[in-house]
Amino acid sequence: MSRIAIISDVHGNALALRAVLEDISWCSVDRVVCLGDVVGYGPDPSECLSLVEEHCEVCIRGNHEDAILVPEQASGFNNKARAALSWTASRLELPELNQIRSMPTWYHLDSDIVCVHDSPVPQDGHGYIRSRTDATPVLHAMDHRICLFGHTHLPAIFTVDPARRNVRATRLLPRTGELVRLDRGGRYLLNPGSVGQPRDGDWRASWGLLDLEAMNFSTHRSAYEVSSVRHAIACAGLPSSLGERLLIGA
């Protein structure tokens, strides 16, 4: 299991997901994992659920999946996210709901690597790990050497030397395709970014590759017909701003 492709935050964007899966197929990976939020925002929730089920070893249940099962959990969503969630829920059939129910909230790739959607340890609020301030207590408290997480839609690496107490996390912003060397004795939070709704100013679908033999992590971008997804969002009656933001990666 030395080469692991990591996807997250697909958000109902099947064109982006297909582009990513095509690129992954050329990378000789041993397994593919999804860190959640397969649905929400985009026009293709059923197709995305089907593709993830077909191609991924595991898919973590994200907060948008949680809100499909328990609508009250969408109370903290903004108006557009709630509208998209309601639209999505109305289009899912019982087998798809059962698929969502079966998704775990965490998954061990091995004893040292855990997959989650937002945070491996409890946090206040919605568990976003965006900054060094967010990451530092998580890195010190988590039980695993490597945590793969999503939720923020921002590719990132956070690390700290576990032998040194009270040291703030270091944040690394990997350039696309750059191989970031991982210290075998270090502790890491690794975020592949978002497939279906990137928010780092790059519209292309983002995903990650963790090589445990070479001990490196890299993020990659896959281009797709983003204007077609914007059109599909408008035609579906979803908030048009959800399509507009795809064009600028916001």
Q: Could you tell me which residue, 123 or 63, shows the higher pLDDT? A: 63
Contacts of range 64-72, beta carbons closer than 8 Å, 24 or more positions apart: 64/11, 64/36, 64/37, 64/38, 64/39, 64/40, 64/88, 65/36, 65/37, 65/38, 65/39, 65/100, 65/103, 67/40, 68/39, 68/92, 68/97, 68/100, 69/97, 69/100, 69/101
pLDDT in tens, 32-47: 999 999 999 999 999 9
Region 114-140: what's the mean pLDDT? 85
Distance CA 41, CA 84 (A): 5
pLDDT in tens, 212-230: 999 999 999 999 999 999 9
Distance CA 19, CA 221 (A): 9
Distance CA 28, CA 16 (A): 20
Give rounded-to-5 percent helix, strand, coil for the chain.
35, 20, 45
Phi, psi of 153 (to 5 degrees): 70, 20
Q: What is the model's pLDDT at position 94?
A: 96
Q: What is the model's pLDDT at position 71?
A: 87
Give me the DSSP letters along 42-72.
Answer: SS-HHHHHHHHHHH-SEE---HHHHHHHSGG
Region 146-161: what's the mean pLDDT? 92
Task: Give me the architecture of the 3-117+190-247 domain, per CATH.
Answer: 4-Layer Sandwich (3.60)
Residue 31 in this model has a pLDDT that exceeds 90: yes
Q: What is the model's pLDDT at position 16?
A: 98
Show Cβ contacts of residue 241 under 8 Å, excluding neighbours closer than 6 positions: 80
Over pLDDT 90: what percentage of the chain?
73
Q: What is the model's pLDDT at position 73?
A: 83
Region 71-75: what's the mean pLDDT? 84
Q: What is the model's pLDDT at position 165?
A: 62
The number of CA neighbours under 13 Å toward the Cβ of 106 is 16
Q: Could you tell me which residue, 170 or 86, shows the higher pLDDT? A: 86
Residue 134 in this model has a pLDDT that exceeds 80: yes
The domains of the chain are located at 3-117+190-247
pTM of the model: 0.92
What Å distances lie between residue 142 and 120, 137, 162, 214, CA to CA?
A: 6, 8, 10, 24
Helix (H, G, I), strand (E, B) or coil at 138: helix
